[in-house]
Amino acid sequence: MYARAAAGGPPRRRVEDAWHEQREGDAIRTVTAVATAALALAVAVVCAGSAHAATLPSGFQERTVFSGLTNPSALRFATDGRVFVTEKSGLIKVFSNLSDTTPTIFTDLRTQVHNFWDRGLLGLALDPNFPASPYVYVLYTHDAAIGGTAPRWGTAGATDDGCPTPPGATADGCVVSGRLSRLQAAGDVMTGAEAVLIEDWCQQYPSHSVGGLAFGADGKLYVSGGDGASFKLHRLRPGRQPPEPVRRPAGRGRRHADGPTAEGGALRSQDVRTTTDATSLDGAILRVDPATGAGLADNPFGSSSDVNRRRIVAYGQRNPFRITMRPGTNEVGR
């Protein structure tokens, strides 16, 4: 399903909602098929052991390319043959080629990342002109409230994080946020400080976290994020669940999520429809300037005074865990 993010107009149609289950594993394998005049190569991140049970179509074969990884969540090929792989915990590793067995640690973001259930370092993209433009983009669950300091729930440098009770993962929930950042490469390692382009995406529950990154043919960066809500409830109701925090300017506090104007729970993904308060990015797909994270003037809401509203090209999403671009276009699919 694709949604066009055309300049000067709204998406052609909203991407349909779907439940996406994150697939984790300890190896990256290739599945190949030899045709008459070409070799087709597809790369998949698979569950440990699950790929061995799969029955491949005639003419395909499987081989392990990279092993020894812990929950690899995304990978990107550079034009110079290097392969960048993220681990859900916050580690980014660089393999010099498909034969490399000893990757270099590009950077370690584990302190900043909340690696819990569906949360973690999930999105990765390389600048379209990489390595001439030496920028690596990451999208991850930040272990802090919006504007806060990590770690809030986890431990500095830890690979796995938790959510204590109270508040409880599926009760009150451990509130965190999301970050889109640009990292600069110097060879196989990061140089300089992390440049945070966007910090938003209020997330209360452990699913429907941040999503994916992709560059369009227009050179702009497309970003997806879930609604940060419970996968069991459509919204929160007074007396059934405690009030849920929603994105508000400092000092405006919390409120119950109920009624036609409520913006808590899954309804947060429609926040763009109310203009009396600041817009959140939960449950939206964004189109932004990769250098600054700002929305583009030719986005559907490009003339808005709200910085987040200007970024949004599609909304009402539940859990757009992965996005992709139709080749050669600016059409987003998931």
Give tens-digit pLDDT for 107-130. 999 999 999 999 999 999 999 999
In the structure, how many helices (H) and strands (E) does the chain have? 2, 18
Whether residue 35 has pLDDT greater than 60: no
pLDDT at 22: 34
The amino acid that residue 75 corresponds to is L
Domain contains 156: yes
Q: Is a pLDDT exceeding 70 seen at residue 41?
A: no
At residue 289 the predicted structure's pLDDT band, cuts being 50, 70 and 90, is very high
Inside any domain, residue 148 = yes
What is the pTM assigned to this prediction? Answer: 0.83
Structural domain contains residue 79 = no
Residues 227 and 255 in one domain: yes
**Does one domain contain both 136 and 52?**
no
How much is the pLDDT for 299? 98
Judged against a pLDDT cut of 50, whether residue 20 lies above it is answered with no
The structural domain count of the chain equals 2
> Quick check: 9 pLDDT over 70?
no
The Cα–Cα gap between 318 and 269 comes to 7
| Domain span including residue 46 | 26-65
262 pLDDT band, cuts 50/70/90, is: low
Q: Which two tokens stand for residue 317?
A: 């999403």
d(CA 24, CA 50): 10
Does 319 lie in the same domain as 218? yes
Task: Answer with the residue of higher pLDDT: 46 or 223.
Answer: 223
Res. 18: pLDDT tops 60: no
Report the pLDDT value the prediction gives residue 122, as an integer from 0 to 100.
98
Confidence of residue 244 (pLDDT cuts 50, 70, 90): low
Half-sphere exposure of 270 (CA within 13 A, CB side): 12
Q: Give the strands of the sheet with 284-288, arranged side by side.
A: 210-215, 221-225, 284-288, 312-315
Domain check: are 116 and 56 in the same one?
no
Q: How confident is the model at residue 43 (pLDDT cuts 50, 70, 90)?
A: very low
How much is the pLDDT for 87?
A: 98
- β-pairing verdict for 39-46 and 83-87: unpaired
- Gap between the Cα atoms of 325 and 122, Å rounded: 17
Phi/psi of residue 52, nearest 5 degrees: -65, -25
The whole-number pLDDT of residue 53 equals: 57
In a domain, 74, yes or no: no
User: What is the overall mean pLDDT for the chain?
Assistant: 82
Q: Bin 168: left if φ > 0, else alpha if -120 < ψ < 50, else beta.
A: left
